[in-house]
Structure 1
Amino acid sequence: MRRVNHRKNQHDEISLIPKTISIGIFGGLIWATVAAVAGYFSFTKVTPKSFVLRSWLQTKWSDQWLGEVISICIISLLSIGLALLYYVVLKKFPGILPGIMTGIVLWFIIFWLFEPIFTNIPPFYELDSDTVVTTVCLFILYSVFIGYSISFAYQQHRGENN
């Protein structure tokens, strides 16, 4: 009986992985698109192409709409990793607070720790207040979307199995 229960728990964990992957893809797609739109309307000077392409490619096409679309797709794929990491570490914590904290930590990692990698992004102290506020809010919204969706799916799945 115990061995059967162990297999059932493994199967339950595996069945949430595809949902977590889709949450990561759609979270990256939605919020990177919102960031691109925010950049288009000059709420921020930092857009997805600023991180993904423009820091390494200084070509004409990477600064246009094609560069933004490719960057949004790459961010959607990278978002799978964050969603899986969130699933492993924080899935049992319901509510939006873990997502808010994750968004703030993620913003600090990108804008402080990885600042030397992203040569196209100005240092934090050179960013205008609109860019800082907009990007912090976007990172928080993105992380809350990922975190709340994953913890909700986990709690719902756990409730179905009990």
Structure 2
Amino acid sequence: MRRKQKQSENIGHIMIPKVISIGFFGGLIWSMVASFTAFFNFTTVSPKSFVLRSWLDAKWTDQWIGQFVSILIISIISILFALLYYLFGKKIQGVWVGIIVGIGIWFLLFGLFEPLFPNIPIFYQLNSDTVVTTLCICILYAVFISYSVSFSYAQQLHDEKTS
């Protein structure tokens, strides 16, 4: 019993930095993809639409620096999401959980949290390109986080058992 508890503590100490980096880079990569899709007019919303433009009306928020700051803020928030996934979903393998979580994230952003983002239209007022693009980005983001965390956890368990 004592050995199993010590093994669990070792996995936690090793996994937390991995989970933090997975969360940060997941937020960085997928918010950059969202920025590019907004730049190329695949979507009418971008990271700065959520993070800065909903609360600030300063001129700099509509420029590249606003997009950069928004990407960094999303990357930091993404660390919290990855840590939550590590706490509650690390043992779940496969991409289906990520797909479901991604759809849930999309509904949270465009449905439930819509009053927090007055700069974003209500989801039924969005054009189809925006809906499809943002839904796909949310799904890909959640699959990236969920699969990376669960894969790293399974790999760490395997390494602990073989050593």
Is 1:146 the counterpart of 2:145 in the alignment? yes
- Aligned amino acid, residue 153 of structure 1: S
Structure 2, unmatched stretches of 5+, are: none
Note closer, same or farther for the CA distance 1:73–1:105 as it changes in structure 2 (3 Å cut): same
Code of the aligned partner of 1:107? W
Correspondence for 2:18: 19
Residue 68 (structure 1) aligns with: 67
String of CA shifts for 1:88-123, please: whole Å, max 9, x gaps.
Answer: 111111111111011001111111110000010011
**Structure 1: 5+ residue runs without aligned partners?**
none
Q: Kindly state the Cα deviation for residue 15 of structure 1 after the two structures are TM-superposed.
A: 1.2
**DSSP-derived class of the 2:116 partner:** coil
Question: Sequence identity of aligned pairs in percent?
Answer: 55
Q: Which residue of 1 aligns with 2:123?
A: 124
Provide the secondary structure at the position in 2 that maps to 1:103.
Answer: helix
1:34 aligns with 2:22: no
Q: How high is the TM-score relative to the length of structure 2?
A: 0.96
Structure 2 CA distance, aligned partners of 1:15 and 1:89? Answer: 17
Q: What CA deviation, in whole Å up to 9, does each residue of 1:103-159 have, x standing for no partner?
A: 001111111110000010011111000000000000000000111100110111111
CA distance in 2, matches of 1:41, 1:13: 41
**d(CA) in 2 for partners of 1:5, 1:142:** 33
Task: Give the 3-state SS of the residue equivalent to 1:119 in structure 2.
Answer: coil
Letter in 2 for 1:144: V
Q: Which amino acid aligns with 1:112?
A: G
Task: Tell me, yes or no, if the aligned pair for 2:48 and 2:70 is still in contact at 8 Å.
Answer: yes
CA drift at 1:8: 2.6
Would you identify which runs of 4 or more consecutive aligned residues in structure 1 move more than 3 Å? none
Counterpart for residue 78 of structure 2? 79
Deviation at 1:11, TM superposition (A): 1.9
- How well do the aligned residues superpose, as a CA RMSD in angstroms? 0.8
Residue 92 of structure 2 corresponds to residue 97 of structure 1: no
Q: Aligned pair 1:156/2:128, yes or no?
A: no
